[in-house]
Structure 1
Amino acid sequence: MKTLRKFGLISIIILFVSSLLTGCIVPSSSPDETNQTDGEEFSGTITMYAGTYSPNRVLNANQKPATELKKLAEEYENETGIKIEFIKGLPADQDYMTWVRTKASGGQLPDIIWSQWYDANTALAKGTLTDLSEYLEQPNPYVENKPWNELLNRQIISDTKSADGSTYVINGDYVGTATYFNKEAFEKAGIKEMPTTWSEFIEACQKLKDAGYTPFAWNLASTPTGTDRITWLTRLFFTNFFADEYDELRYTENEGITNQDQVIAIKKGVFGPENEKWMAIWPILKDFSQYWQPDFTGGDSNGQGTMLAFLTGEVGMYFDGSWASQQIKSANPDFEWSSFKNPFPDHATSEFATEFDSSAAIGGPSASFQYAVPTKKANNSLTPAKEKAIIDWLMYITTPEHNEAIVNELGENVPTVAGAKPIEELSGLSDLANQPLQSVFGGINLEKKELDAIYRAFQGYILGDTTLEEFAKVADTEMEKTADSLIQQNNWDLSEYLEE
């Protein structure tokens, strides 16, 4: 068996949006594994909860099976003699994080788990996952011994560190949102370049309208998809408008803006109708609504209404996630299409616009290729030799070639390892992972009932049933009420932040 050339550990697991697997058993370690000493070379099995990219995940209708990790595991075993065993998923009614915490408390987590960076940094008890920082500068033997951190995305490494500087998750993909467009419609409308700013985007909408197309498919129905999409749009604007204040809005000095930070901003009048900057967004969105399809408040066909409208060929553009590319491809529309990153506000749009490109505010390194390594405390089968083997395997699957193959097989996300390229339909999103991981929600969705109430008021404003002032009054009432509720529930003493 070839001598492993890398040291390491990788930590945590938390599940992504979809595709839960069934039945979950972590094999107990064999005697030859647990008895290995520090100086020995590891031989045996590495267990891995691979989530969406697992070769044994349970598939929903129209989902593609993931096979690349299995193929790479077989190649790796042939080269090193080490077997990679993929853990089966949980039953649909079992909460993943509860399972992780329970297994960790008994020292029974797999050797590698899937986890979002923010869960790794905040949701799991300290000591559950291994800090991988010391391994990032070591050479990857599978890419000409280049330092591992030169292959992994440096922006993501920087933005996803914990408050104490630890790195718990190795990232290999990025979930993005995009503007999907009809190439034929753009050509007929005389649109030769993709819009990058909001003013260019609105100009494209007008050209599409003049050419006889519905410029944009939008969902303003009272459905989860409808409320979700409005938070996409407001996030695009809030993140840009408040970009120069981002660090100041991190009142509690966490990596990102937490719910507690948002409550403080509400109480200080930074988020809410008292602030002209916060209010400036809503008239811009109402102006945008003139380009939506006539039935934009209708049902959303299980979240697919805007896509179905786009597939008719009568719509020029619509917003969706990077995962939609494969669904559109499967539908085989009668026109060529592609996507570009969402346009961000500019000075021609509003006096409050900044130079910050907020395209990356909707999405992030929180997709399916996020793997962590539990500590000895959470995985009692771990030995120093096994730890080295785990890191070696993680280096093996984060070469540009292997990362690209794993991520592009499903075509739902963008690979982030340097040199790996996304599928053609997502090529316009390839640089999102290199932008700062920065997002401002504006205090409108701290709780579901708050967002629902503000969303209903927004619907009335867009439809002309209520005025901007009436909308603002509802938003102010709901945000203050929610802020007070969270302060009480969490026993927050915010006096130090609210003193003049």
Structure 2
Amino acid sequence: MYASAYTPLLPGQKPTPGVKPVVALDNAAKAFEKLYPGIHIEFLPNTSTEGTNQWYETEGAAGQLPDISWVQGPYVNIDYPKGLFTDLLPYFQQPNPFIPGNKKWINTMNPEAVDSSIVPGVKAGTTGVYAVDGDWEGFGFWYNKALFKEAGITKPPTTWGQLVTDSQELKAHGIDPGATFGAPIYNWFAHIFQPNALGASRMRTILGVKGNTAGAVTSEENAYFYNHYGDWLNPSKDPALIDWWPAAKALLSTWDPATIDVTETNASTAPSPYSLFTSQQVAMVYVEGSDMPKLVYALPKKHQFPFGMFNPTSVMGTSKYATNLVTYQDVGGPYVGFQFAISTHLADSTMTPAKFKAALAWLQFITTPHWDQTIVNEEENAIPIIKGTTAPPVDRTFQQAIDKYPFWSLSAFDTMTSTSFDTIDGLFLEYVNGFISFKTAEKEYDADAAQIVAQFDSQNAGLMAKFTQQENARLGIK
């Protein structure tokens, strides 16, 4: 098994000084092997080689993939060669025998994770669900309580407007307010503001869902609703898609330009937000994952400081299009380290029906609430999402949010072509760093969106013709 970030300490390996070794998955393996003495779980090393596209391709072609691998579900049969992994969806409909009373394994899973793992994702391909998800990556603002107190701020902000005000107050007291990764900032902020501006009703229509059913806007949907049914995803006709940019700039303009004035291609040149935070050079950082606690607690006692995490739950007042839809949980999602797939015989020449049965049982075993919570919480970089699990206290609010609110993912245009990300993110950074006016940014955004959609339509003409026919029928358009 290649277990990625959850790979336990292997025989002969020595733990890194000052770093607590990961042992939970190994403990689970020992418990499983006790139930089934004829089965042995062997873990592969977690190096820079495993888990790359080239590794899946070369090892799969040679029939040498491990029985179980960490795999990001939506990439199967699209970014990876077809036929490497087994569609698990039929088995999701069967009981998990390790959960008393369970009638369908899928009923224990986070529906947003299952939905977002369905293949095809943004392109046509062999359909199915090829990985079981057990963790979730959350974004949040980690903040230094002592530095906030020094600026007279006694509690974290709950609205975007208060976040901006607090950031300005920190700066006024000579405290560097915040930092994030150098890029991609557009993508993260778009997930907060764009679904919010469109509102629940339009998001449900675009995604074709009812109630709070999860969904991620695909490139096909982006292209369709750019040209059809109200042109909701056409910024030249619906400015809501970009009207939030000034609110993002209001926050980022209080931060040190060195932390954001970079592009995706040279993001590594930006200062590490983790280093800036743990050295108390900034008051807050907006980052993914939940490993900040172990970084702070790893500091010498005299350098540790009180900290916490928050997310503004309201963006009302940031734009005339802002709604009361809660969307902060839409940043992040599954695909951290607990996404495991079973190889086919084509990719793993040692795979047999008996071995597949054992591999399936092992995945069912580690996706019980007890083991999912134990494994994910130990690694301290994600949130467990099997029903019945509890995240660490610092992540509990975020876990409750992804259970309570819909996961409606939208970051318009930036993943539609091979160059669209750099185009849109680069424009956003030009604006927030003060190189162009908002009026200029609006015009360029409209032009870039038109060009990206036209290129996508041209490259996927057959797919879009079929998809348009399908959507027209769904929406009653003749």
User: Which range, TM-score by smaller chain?
Assistant: 0.7 to 0.9
Mapped contact 1:104–1:379 kept (Cα < 8 A): yes
2:357 aligned residue: 388
CA drift of 1:363 comes to: 0.8
CA distance in 1, matches of 2:174, 2:57: 52
State the AA in 2 paired with 1:427: R
Mapped contact 2:135–2:383 kept (Cα < 8 A): yes
1:467 aligned residue: 437
For residue 43 of structure 2, the aligned residue among 66, 71, 86 is 86
2:283 aligned residue: 316
State the AA in 2 paired with 1:259: S
The C-alpha deviation readout for 1:263-312, integer Å capped at 9, x for no partner, is 44455653334422123112222222343246555677744444444345
CA drift of 1:358 comes to: 1.4
For residue 138 of structure 1, the aligned residue among 75, 92, 95 is 95
CA distance in 1, matches of 2:16, 2:413: 35
Are residues 1:50 and 2:3 paired?
yes
Mapped contact 2:171–2:177 kept (Cα < 8 A): no
Secondary structure at 1:242's aligned position in 2? helix
Note closer, same or farther for the CA distance 1:297–1:265 as it changes in structure 2 (3 Å cut).
same
1:283 aligned residue: 246
Note closer, same or farther for the CA distance 1:60–1:351 as it changes in structure 2 (3 Å cut).
farther
Secondary structure at 1:230's aligned position in 2? helix
Q: Matches of residues 32-43 of structure 1 in structure 2 within 5 Å?
A: none
Q: CA RMSD in A?
A: 3.9
CA distance in 1, matches of 2:19, 2:222: 37
For residue 216 of structure 2, the aligned residue among 256, 271, 281 is 256
CA distance in 2, matches of 1:104, 1:361: 33
Note closer, same or farther for the CA distance 1:134–1:165 as it changes in structure 2 (3 Å cut).
farther
CA drift of 1:366 comes to: 0.8
Mapped contact 1:110–1:379 kept (Cα < 8 A): yes
The C-alpha deviation readout for 1:401-458, integer Å capped at 9, x for no partner, is 3223322232111122234333344334222442433211122454575444544544
For residue 153 of structure 1, the aligned residue among 94, 110, 118 is 110
State the AA in 2 paired with 1:178: G
Are residues 1:74 and 2:74 paired?
no
CA distance in 2, matches of 1:67, 1:272: 50
Mapped contact 1:256–1:438 kept (Cα < 8 A): yes
CA drift of 1:56 comes to: 6.2
Q: Matches of residues 308-387 of structure 1 in structure 2 within 5 Å?
A: 308-313=275-280, 315-325=282-292, 326-331=294-299, 333-340=303-310, 342-376=311-345, 378-387=347-356
The C-alpha deviation readout for 1:37-85, integer Å capped at 9, x for no partner, is xxxxxxxxxxx22222123689999976533222332333233211012
State the AA in 2 paired with 1:53: Y
1:44 aligned residue: none
Secondary structure at 1:227's aligned position in 2? coil
Q: TM-score, normalised by structure 1?
A: 0.74
Secondary structure at 1:180's aligned position in 2? strand
Mapped contact 2:183–2:260 kept (Cα < 8 A): no
1:412 aligned residue: 381
Secondary structure at 1:315's aligned position in 2? coil
Mapped contact 1:249–1:257 kept (Cα < 8 A): yes
Mapped contact 1:112–1:371 kept (Cα < 8 A): yes
CA distance in 2, matches of 1:118, 1:375: 17
CA distance in 2, matches of 1:390, 1:465: 54
CA distance in 2, matches of 1:111, 1:295: 45
Q: Matches of residues 485-496 of structure 1 in structure 2 within 5 Å?
A: 485-491=455-461, 494=464, 496=468
CA distance in 1, matches of 2:275, 2:7: 30
Stretch of structure 1 that moved more, 67-76 or 49-58: 49-58
Mapped contact 1:345–1:353 kept (Cα < 8 A): no
Q: Matches of residues 223-302 of structure 1 in structure 2 within 5 Å?
A: 225-244=181-200, 245-250=202-207, 256-266=216-226, 270-293=233-256, 296=259, 302=269
Secondary structure at 2:216's aligned position in 1? coil
Secondary structure at 2:295's aligned position in 1? helix
Secondary structure at 1:291's aligned position in 2? coil
Give percent identity, aligned residues only: 24
Mapped contact 2:373–2:390 kept (Cα < 8 A): yes
Stretch of structure 1 that moved more, 323-332 or 284-293: 323-332
CA drift of 1:171 comes to: 1.4
State the AA in 1 paired with 2:179: W
Are residues 1:171 and 2:133 paired?
yes
Stretch of structure 1 that moved more, 434-443 or 293-302: 293-302
Are residues 1:202 and 2:159 paired?
no
Stretch of structure 1 that moved more, 372-381 or 175-184: 372-381
The C-alpha deviation readout for 1:139-197, integer Å capped at 9, x for no partner, is 433x4454544543344335544579954322111111111111223445565554343
CA distance in 2, matches of 1:286, 1:406: 39
Note closer, same or farther for the CA distance 1:56–1:462 as it changes in structure 2 (3 Å cut).
same
CA distance in 1, matches of 2:332, 2:16: 23
Secondary structure at 2:325's aligned position in 1? coil
Note closer, same or farther for the CA distance 1:260–1:77 as it changes in structure 2 (3 Å cut).
same
Note closer, same or farther for the CA distance 1:145–1:95 as it changes in structure 2 (3 Å cut).
closer
Mapped contact 1:127–1:375 kept (Cα < 8 A): yes
Alignment gaps of 5+ in structure 1: 1-47, 220-224
Stretch of structure 1 that moved more, 103-112 or 397-406: 103-112
Mapped contact 1:214–1:293 kept (Cα < 8 A): no
CA drift of 1:347 comes to: 3.0
1:436 aligned residue: 406
CA distance in 2, matches of 1:493, 1:370: 28
CA drift of 1:370 comes to: 0.8
Secondary structure at 1:86's aligned position in 2? coil
